[in-house]
Amino acid sequence: MQLTNRSKQVSNKEMTLMERAYLPAIAQGLAITIKHFFAKKVTIEYPEVKRYLGPVFRGRHILKRDEQGRERCTACGLCAVACPAEAISMVAAEREKGEETLYREEKYAAVYEVNMLRCIFCGLCEEACPKQAVYLRHDEFVPVFSERDQVIWGKDLLVEDMNDRYTREAWTKEEARALDTKRANGEVTNVVPRPVP
């Protein structure tokens, strides 16, 4: 009975003199090995070298700031309620006079913690955020940790560094899709990644 179309007829005929001579076959095999020795490697030396995983990869979290460097997060709790793994927790505080340059809204997250052991990097927090504050970086992983206290990430690790801003070509799904179709049609060649959603 035939299960697939990939079956091959095999034969049991006698070998020719050339085949029986043994050495030509050895030389042929070595030639293949030596060819691969000089060919371009298909593997990379992870973790020293890391491969670009594309613009839609979901790596570690970042809390974005706006153009003026104010924190966008207003501690509304939607990321935490959307989180299927219950990895996010926060404590809100009221902005005081003189802090207008630090926080965008009258309420802000005084504590914002992501438990990286719980997080499943599904990106639902990013989708739930009404203030475009929390994003999963496409270019950085959560580093390997060896101690328990390295697992819970606070604002010190999460809030964006204004001197090294996180940039993206597209900040929403719709934008990314539009960019993809434009690229496919050859209308766009290079897009400058921008730091502000």
Partner 1 sequence: MEEIKSQLVKITFDGIEVEVEPGTTIMQAARKIAEADESQAALVPPAMCYYKPLPTSGGKCRACLVRVAQGSAKDPRPMPKLVPSCITQVQEGMVVENTTNQAVLDTRKSIVEFLLINHPLDCPICDQAGECHLQDFAFEHGSVKTRYEEDRRTFDKIDIGPHVQLHMTRCILCYRCVYTADQITDQRVHGVMNRGDASEISTYIEKAIDNDFSGNVIDVCPVGALTDKTYRFKNRVWFTKPEDAHRDCEKCCGKVTLWYRGEEVIRVTARKNTWGEVNDFICNTCRFDKKKTSDWTLEGPTKVKRSSVISANKYRADLVKKPDFALKLAATQFKNIDDSRPYVTDEDTIRHQSIENNDKANHRSLLSKNN
> Residues interacting with partner 1, by CB under 8 A?
1-3, 74-78, 80-81, 86, 92-94, 105-107, 130-131
* Residue of 45, 27, 60 lying closest to 136 (CA atoms): 60
Number of neighbouring beta carbons within 10 Å of residue 20: 9
Q: State the DSSP code for 148.
A: G
Taking CA 68 as the corner, what is the angle to CA 158 and CA 59, rounded to the nearest 5 degrees? 25
Minimum CB distance to partner 1, residue 86 (Å):
6
Minimum CB distance to partner 1, residue 75 (Å):
8
Minimum CB distance to partner 1, residue 98 (Å):
17
Compare residues 51 and 97 and give the one whose CB is closer to partner 1: 97
Minimum CB distance to partner 1, residue 130 (Å):
5
Residue 168 backbone phi and psi in degrees, to 5: -140, 150
Minimum CB distance to partner 1, residue 165 (Å):
23
- State how far the Cα of 130 lies from the Cα of 79, in Å rounded to an integer: 9
Compare residues 75 and 116 and give the one whose CB is closer to partner 1: 75
* Residue of 146, 88, 135 lying closest to 112 (CA atoms): 88
User: Would you say 138 and 167 are in contact if contact means Cβ atoms under 8 Å apart?
Assistant: no
